[in-house]
Amino acid sequence: MTSYELVFSGFLAKITDYKLISLETKDVNTMMTGWLHAAAAQPKVKKLFSTLTFDDTKQEFNFVLKNSNEDALYDIDFVIELFSKGMVVAWLEPTVNSIINTMQAYSGKEQKFYSQANHLEQLRALLKDSKKDLKIFISEYGYINNPYLSDGGA
């Protein structure tokens, strides 16, 4: 069994979100558990595992990769990084799709607003880059662990 805390730590190292700090620990854990499940539910992620079970009560998960590496620590590190990157995507999606970003703001003489369109485009680019990073990470794992493509230990 692997602790959610290992994945959560990897995820938190990849983001800067001061709103999370202000929330209750229980609420943050609930949100991160949701993002973890969202990361694991992606088809490209799911297909990597022959077994993947979550126990939200104990905050642990169990997995068996289809193309498991001989080094179990490598597999654990890979899965932690995989879910951490997937959680970043799940964390970003509501931000990009927020009503705040879709509503037009108006300003007066004393108020200064920055371009909403530019901000939304930057968020979309960040989400796109995060999804691409996850996809490349999965592809590289598949390439390295595919016996037909690797050097076969030679």
Q: pLDDT tens digit string along 15-45? A: 988 888 899 999 999 999 999 999 999 999 9
Instruction: Measure the CA–CA gap between 47 and 121, rounded to whole angstroms.
Output: 31
What integer pLDDT is reported at residue 154 of this predicted model?
Answer: 42
11 assigned to some structural domain: yes
CA-wise closest residue to 6 among 89, 91, 78, 68: 78
**More confident call, 147 vs 78:** 78
Instruction: Measure the CA–CA gap between 90 and 8, rounded to whole angstroms.
Output: 13
151 assigned to some structural domain: no
pLDDT exceeds cutoff 70 at 142: no
149 assigned to some structural domain: no
Take residue 42 and report the two structure tokens written for it.
């992606």
Number of domains present in the structure of the chain: 1
Lowest mean pLDDT among 48-52, 66-70, 119-123: 119-123
Instruction: Measure the CA–CA gap between 81 and 58, rounded to whole angstroms.
Output: 21
Whether 75 contacts 65, CB under 8 Å: yes
pLDDT exceeds cutoff 80 at 62: yes
Q: Got the DSSP string for 47-84?
A: TTEEEEEEETTTTEEEEEETT--S-HHHHHHHHHHHHH
41 assigned to some structural domain: yes
150 assigned to some structural domain: no
pLDDT exceeds cutoff 80 at 122: no
39 assigned to some structural domain: yes
In Å, what is the CA distance from 151 to each residue of 68, 143, 147? 16, 11, 8
The parent domain of residue 16 ranges over 2-144
CA-wise closest residue to 8 among 22, 25, 104: 25
